[in-house]
């Protein structure tokens, strides 16, 4: 049972909502270190945008390019998180120890980058991938199950013993 495609809804979601949601998701992820937010919340926001796309009858996509292989995204996210966990070991520090860069930029002034932000980015990617995978499995592929189930139930009504 695929959701009925609604042109207006689809247009609205794709033209505005996805873009705004993506921006917010990235913003929430990066502000997380100093204010409420973080990779988990950011990932869920982008995931919610994909859910909206799905409900509007489209395949989850970024800039009209559907994401066909969320598994790869999942692996990439785990690798980023794992890499940042182990990276300090190379420098002889304990795992996940933060490193703080301070950059002087011309207009904004001092910008502080913390290595754990990268870890949070890994969390972000993993969460997005998980949402996409479940959406594909239960949404697109799950339609097959429900179709078969309905067939079986109508068979039951026809008096076929099971």
Which residues sit at the interface with another protein, rule CB under 8 A?
1, 28, 32-41, 44-45, 47-48, 51, 55, 71, 74, 77-78, 81-82, 85, 95-96, 98, 100, 112, 114, 116-117, 119-120, 122-123, 126-127, 129-131, 133-139, 141-146, 148-149, 153
Q: How many CB atoms lie within 10 A of CB 77?
A: 22
- Smallest separation (angstroms) from another protein to the CB of 159: 18
User: Between 11 and 153, whose beta carbon lies closer to another protein?
Assistant: 153
User: Between 11 and 140, whose beta carbon lies closer to another protein?
Assistant: 140
Cα–Cα distance, 58 to 50 (Å, whole number): 9
Cα–Cα distance, 95 to 97 (Å, whole number): 5
- Smallest separation (angstroms) from another protein to the CB of 41: 5
Q: What is the maximal distance between C-alpha atoms in the chain?
A: 78
Residue 104's Cβ-count burial label (10 Å; 0-12, 13-18, 19+) is exposed
- Smallest separation (angstroms) from another protein to the CB of 91: 16
CB 127 within 8 A of CB 80: no
- Smallest separation (angstroms) from another protein to the CB of 62: 18
- Smallest separation (angstroms) from another protein to the CB of 31: 8
User: Between 12 and 142, whose beta carbon lies closer to another protein?
Assistant: 142
User: Between 16 and 140, whose beta carbon lies closer to another protein?
Assistant: 140
Length, in residues, of the chain: 162
Query: Positive or negative, the Cα torsion across 61, 21, 100, 126?
Result: negative
């Amino acid at each position: 049972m695929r959701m009925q495609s609604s042109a207006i809804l689809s247009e609205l979601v794709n033209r505005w909502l996805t873009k705004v949601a993506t921006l917010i998701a990235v913003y929430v992820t990066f502000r997380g270190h100093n204010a409420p937010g973080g990779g988990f919340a950011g990932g869920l926001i982008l995931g919610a945008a994909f859910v909206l796309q799905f409900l509007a009858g489209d395949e989850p996509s970024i800039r009209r390019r559907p994401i066909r292989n969320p598994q790869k995204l999942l692996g990439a996210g785990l690798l980023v998180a794992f890499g940042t966990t182990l990276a300090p070991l190379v420098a002889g520090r304990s795992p996940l120890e933060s490193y703080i860069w301070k950059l002087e930029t011309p207009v904004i002034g001092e910008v502080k980058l913390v290595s754990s932000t990268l870890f949070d980015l890994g969390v972000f990617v993993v969460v997005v991938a998980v949402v996409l995978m479940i959406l594909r499995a239960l949404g697109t592929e799950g339609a097959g199950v429900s179709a078969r189930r309905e067939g079986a139930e109508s068979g039951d009504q026809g008096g076929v013993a099971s």
